[in-house]
Each structure stands twice: as C-alpha cells, then as structure tokens.
Structure 1
Amino acid sequence: MNTQKQIYQIFQDDSNKIKIQSLNILQPQKDTNHVQRRQQQRAINKIMIQIALLYGRKQYNKGAVIYTLSDRILEKTPYYKFGNTLRGLRVVCRHGLPNPQILTAYWHNKTINRVRG
C-alpha cells in the first residue's frame, strides 16, 4: 500500500480531525486557482494540510498563522512513521482553527534538512 493511502487511513481514524470544522481556501481576485495549483505542483494534498493544521507548530507572522510539521512534533502523533513524507510541510492561513482560511502550502527546506536521528 502506498504512503498516501496509509496516511489517509490513519487520518480517517484520527479523533482530532473534528477540530477542523471547515477547510476554506482563500482565493485572491487576481489568481483564483493559486492554492490548488501550488498544491498540485508541490505534491501536497488536503489530508496533509489537515494534518499540519492539527499537529503543526503554530506561529504568527504579519497577520498570518503558519503551521509547520517537524520530526519532533511528528514523534508524538500517529503519523510518526511518515516523517520523511510530512517533515517540513508548512501551511499559511489567515485564521487558525476551527475554520482556517488557507493562503498557501509549501515545503520549508530548512525543516526538511533538519532530520532528527
């Protein structure tokens, strides 16, 4: 079974997923498909974004809420064995939980390169 399916199955059994009431994608007027296009280019799916929102380290920067997944955080979750797949995922939102408005999602290279052994 591939990694994406395994992550999906674990997420279906995750009791924390109820903390996200609705996942809204904020669409700027100039580029209405920005988030979807970036997700596709960066191989980031909706489940991965939800995992980052639930377990990621929360930071505030210039009015945005940023969630980042690292090895240290993933160790304490059911997704610990998918550290190589999820490490470094960063989701930028206008508002946090329970109704986040997603601005973008990307891979943070410094976090990816900081592997814990």
Structure 2
Amino acid sequence: MAVGRRCGGDRGGATVCLLAVGLMFVIVGVFGAAVEAARVARQRAAVAADFAALAAAAQALTGGEVACASADAVARANGARLAGCRLDGLDAVVATEVTVTPVPGLTRVATATARAGPARA
C-alpha cells in the first residue's frame, strides 16, 4: 500500500516538466521572431534609403525640393518614411525610417542613411 501512495503522489510530474520545456521553446521562438523582424525592418530601411538617394540624385539638377519629393515617393513605395533629405552639391543624402512591431506592445523604428551622386574620377 505504501508503494501505491508514493506512485500516486508523483502523478503528473512529467506533464508539468513537459509544459515548462514547451513554454521555454515558445518564449525562445517569440524572441527569435522579434529579433528577425527588427533585422528585416533595418534591411527594408536601408534598401529604401538607397533607392530614395538614387532617385534624389537623379533629380539633383532640378533643385532640392523636386529631388526630395522624388526621394519621398520612392521611400514610401518601399514601405518607409523619409526622415531627412538634403542635397550636397550633386550628391543626395537621404535618411529613412521603418516602424516595426515585433511583439504586441513593443514598437521600434529602424533607420538608415544613404548617399548617392555622380561618380568622381
């Protein structure tokens, strides 16, 4: 009878351990997904900045307002927001931002800057 009580007291212990290990995997998975979402947002911001800087540099001779309007349109088409734009001679310097929410309640902004202009010898 003592053996029966001992076994009966341990019933469900493996279930609790299995649930704890499962919860650990879920937490690690959510953390990994959040890190990857932030990395993808940073890459999107960099691509948008590169293309926006090229668009602005192509319009550099028409003036800063037209060049930055072109950069803004390209940045928005790439899912980013134009954070800054200026002409430095014929070079365009552009900054973009991409907002990411990797997990509910946690919002971050990924930023990138790019410069484009004519080739110099």
Bigger RCO (CA 8 Å, 6+ sep): 1
Work out which of the two has the higher radius of gyration on C-alpha atoms and give 1 or 2: 2
TM-score normalised by L of structure 2: 0.30
Q: As a proportion of its length, which structure holds more helix? A: 2
Q: TM-score, normalised by structure 1?
A: 0.30
